[in-house]
Amino acid sequence: MVSNVARLERKVDGMAAILAASERTATGTGSSYPRAYNPAGISPEIYVNQFVKSDHEASLVLEAFRKDFMPYAPFVVIPPNVDSEEFRRQKPFLFLAILMVTYRYEKSTQAEIAKNFREVLSHSMLIKGEQSLDILQGLLVCLAWSVCFLPV
């Protein structure tokens, strides 16, 4: 029990250090990021557009999620009348999570989407302090998928 508490304290200290470094960078007192770091380039829309080339492909991804995953994710309900373009615009982070779980047969693409997902998640929540239903649902889809569909 003590070791779990100590591990949790180390994680919290690590997150506090990340937040302090980001605040120093924002105020210009220090630079903890390499020059190539571009916070404006970290958005779910950019990553989704990188992997989904057409509205037809986005529709197929949404349909695959509705058919194969939505029964296991009751916290995400996508009505049949919602088209992919509208959904991508309203819930870009959730769509990125859906994209990640539906690319289960293309492991290298899925791994790259997962990396981008984690980057957007950490930037949105830790750096920008965002809180939204879009982020919560995307995170829940990711967690449900990793428990249900990853090989043990």
Domain boundaries defined on the chain: 1-36, 38-149
Span 90-113, average pLDDT? 90
- Residue burial 6-37, b: 16+ Cβ < 10 Å; e: rest: eeeeeeeeeeeeeeeebeebeeeeeeeeeeee
pLDDT tens-digit series, residues 23-47? 555 555 444 433 344 455 677 888 8
- Quick one: pLDDT band at residue 125, thresholds 50, 70, 90? confident
Instruction: Give this prediction's pTM.
Output: 0.68
* pLDDT over threshold 70, residue 19: no
- Alpha carbon 53 to chain centroid distance? 19
- 66-75 tens-digit pLDDT: 998 888 888 8
Residue 106 has pLDDT above 90, yes or no: no
